[in-house]
């Protein structure tokens, strides 16, 4: 729950859901909204796949999914799961035996698609494997692969069809006394996805995995995901998210965190508030922000930084951030710390100086967090 007693118009009351575990990561309940991505390497290539998993984890991914279409991949999963710093979800389509093999290989979660996993007897075998090996399951409904009988019943993919598919498979799991599951109802259409997720959220207390599937390239897919996921998250719906982009999985993780940051639901690293720049700017805002984003990627501590080109909005924005820099004139600007003017700084020293201030501030905040944890023990 994101509650702000001073600014109640920023409150987001999260939907109450059951909590499950994906490996060591809690999903649902009052757990932080987790961020996921998916590898795009050949699953047979352990080295390349592990490298992508580790890169995603370094960017903040809590969970990583790997497609498991064949036995060679499920064999490779043994080493990948053993060496991965985060829980691995095995993505299963068409062949239920791959799910069983993935569970045996150490996958923390099995994603099954109701539209192509097979009949109930096959699902029961997957459930047994999940129980035997401590896996959770994601029921992954997709508008592009709904069951034939639902398409015949409804005529086309629609919210009712997607939710019915999901609830039918929830019943199968529950009838087999399996409750460690989450569910998604994804579509590439924002309206269809949002409507299906809203309907689903009222029909079950299962944790919900949010995503706009096949959202597109980096720019278009980011916008579509921000609109679709942002609206649902603002309504309190969603326990874990994956931004689906035709881009590097690391970029999916970054975009996912930016969406959560923008809603105050979860923060990681430095949130930069910067102006688009105009003729009033006292320094090159665009290049400065680009440089700072790269130089501050290693900071994991939540912090805000304002970089504003002139004094029109600069001082006001700096009041609301941990650190700030506002352009002035004659090649210099003003540094703000905790909302107050601190000292003047020349433009040519700005990037190095701000990086140092952020690093120092991160050290202080990290030390305070460690002290607080120690006191609570």
Query: What would the pLDDT profile of 293-329 be if each residue is shown by its tens digit?
Result: 999 999 999 999 999 999 888 899 998 999 999 998 7
pLDDT for residue 1 is more than 60? no
What's the rounded mean pLDDT across residues 137-160? 94
Query: What would the pLDDT profile of 235-249 be if each residue is shown by its tens digit?
Result: 999 999 999 999 999
- The structure's pTM equals 0.91
Which of 359, 363, 320, 317 shows the shortest CA–CA distance to 333? 317
> Can you tell me the distance from the alpha carbon of 112 to that of 212, in angstroms, rounded to the nearest whole number?
17
> Can you tell me the distance from the alpha carbon of 304 to that of 24, in angstroms, rounded to the nearest whole number?
29
Looking at the chain, which residues constitute the CATH 3.20.20.20 domain(s)? 8-262
Query: What would the pLDDT profile of 167-206 be if each residue is shown by its tens digit?
Result: 999 999 999 999 999 999 999 999 999 999 999 999 999 9
DSSP letter string, 125-153: HHHHHHHHHT-EEEEEEEGGG--HHHHHH
User: What whole-number percentage of the chain has pLDDT above 90?
Assistant: 85
pLDDT at 337: 94
Q: What band does 10 get if pLDDT is binned at 50, 70 and 90?
A: confident
Which of 200, 227, 202 shows the shortest CA–CA distance to 212? 227
Using left for φ > 0, alpha for ψ between -120 and 50, and beta otherwise, residue 60 falls in left
* Distance (Å) of CA 284 to CA 53, 108, 280, 343: 36, 47, 11, 20
* Distance (Å) of CA 58 to CA 54, 227, 304, 358, 377: 6, 26, 20, 19, 28
Q: What band does 94 get if pLDDT is binned at 50, 70 and 90?
A: confident
Fold of 270-376: Sulfite Reductase Hemoprotein; domain 1 (3.30.413)
What's the rounded mean pLDDT across residues 79-96? 94
pLDDT at 119: 79
CB distance 232 to 210 below 8 Å: yes
What's the rounded mean pLDDT across residues 32-48? 96
Fold of 8-262: TIM Barrel (3.20.20)
pLDDT at 275: 93
> Can you tell me the distance from the alpha carbon of 272 to that of 125, in angstroms, rounded to the nearest whole number?
49
> Can you tell me the distance from the alpha carbon of 211 to that of 208, in angstroms, rounded to the nearest whole number?
10
SS (H, E, C) 294-314: HHCCCCCCCEEEEEECCCCCH
pLDDT for residue 2 is more than 70? no
pLDDT for residue 125 is more than 80? yes
| Helix residue ranges, H only, 134-217 | 148-154, 159-175, 190-203
pLDDT at 9: 85
CB distance 114 to 139 below 8 Å: yes
User: What whole-number percentage of the chain has pLDDT above 70?
Assistant: 99
What's the rounded mean pLDDT across residues 45-60? 97
Q: What band does 6 get if pLDDT is binned at 50, 70 and 90?
A: confident
Looking at the chain, which residues constitute the CATH 3.30.413.10 domain(s)? 270-376
| Secondary structure percentages of the chain, helix, strand, coil, to 5 | 45, 20, 35
Helices (H) and strands (E) in the chain, counts: 12, 15
pLDDT at 93: 83
Q: What angle do CA 25, 115, 106 make, to 5 degrees?
A: 35
pLDDT at 3: 63
Residue with the larger pLDDT of the pair 293 and 119: 293
pLDDT at 123: 87
Query: What would the pLDDT profile of 97-115 be if each residue is shown by its tens digit?
Result: 999 999 999 999 999 887 6
Phi (first) and psi of residue 121, to 5 degrees: -65, -35
């Amino acid at each position: 729950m994101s509650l702000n007693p001073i600014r109640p118009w920023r409150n987001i009351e999260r939907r109450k859901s059951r909590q499950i575990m994906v490996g060591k990561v809690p999903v649902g309940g009052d757990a932080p909204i987790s961020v996921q991505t998916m590898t795009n390497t050949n699953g047979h290539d352990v080295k390349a796949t592990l490298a992508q998993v580790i890169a995603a984890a370094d960017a903040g991914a809590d969970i990583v999914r790997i497609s498991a279409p064949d036995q060679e991949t499920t064999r490779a999963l043994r080493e990948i799961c053993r060496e991965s710093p985060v829980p691995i979800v095995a993505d299963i389509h068409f062949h239920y035996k791959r799910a069983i093999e993935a569970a045996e290989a150490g996958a923390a979660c099995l994603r099954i698609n109701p539209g192509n996993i097979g009949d109930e007897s096959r699902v029961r075998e997957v459930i047994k494997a999940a129980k035997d090996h401590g896996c959770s399951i994601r029921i992954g409904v997709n508008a592009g692969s709904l069951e034939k009988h639902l398409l015949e019943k409804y005529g086309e993919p629609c919210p009712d069809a997607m939710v019915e598919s999901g609830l039918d498979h929830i019943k199968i799991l529950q009838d087999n006394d399996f409750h460690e599951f989450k569910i998604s109802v994804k579509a590439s259409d924002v309206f269809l996805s949002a409507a299906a997720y809203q309907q689903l959220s009222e029909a079950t207390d299962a944790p919900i995995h949010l995503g706009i599937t096949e959202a597109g390239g980096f720019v278009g897919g980011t916008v579509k995901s921000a609109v679709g996921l942002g609206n649902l998250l603002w309504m309190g719906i969603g326990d874990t998210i994956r931004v689906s982009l035709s881009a590097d999985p690391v970029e999916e993780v970054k975009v996912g965190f930016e969406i959560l940051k923008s809603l105050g639901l979860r923060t990681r690293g430095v949130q930069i508030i910067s102006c688009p720049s105009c003729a009033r700017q006292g320094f090159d805002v665009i290049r400065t922000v680009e440089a700072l984003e790269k130089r501050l990627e290693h900071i994991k501590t939540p912090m805000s930084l304002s970089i504003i080109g002139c004094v029109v909005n600069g001082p006001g924005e700096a009041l609301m951030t941990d650190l700030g820099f506002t352009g002035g004139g004659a090649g210099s600007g003003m540094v703000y710390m905790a909302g107050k003017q601190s000292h003047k700084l020349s433009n040519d020293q700005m990037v190095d100086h701000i990086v140092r201030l952020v690093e120092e501030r991160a050290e202080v905040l990290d030390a305070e967090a460690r002290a607080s944890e120690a006191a609570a023990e």
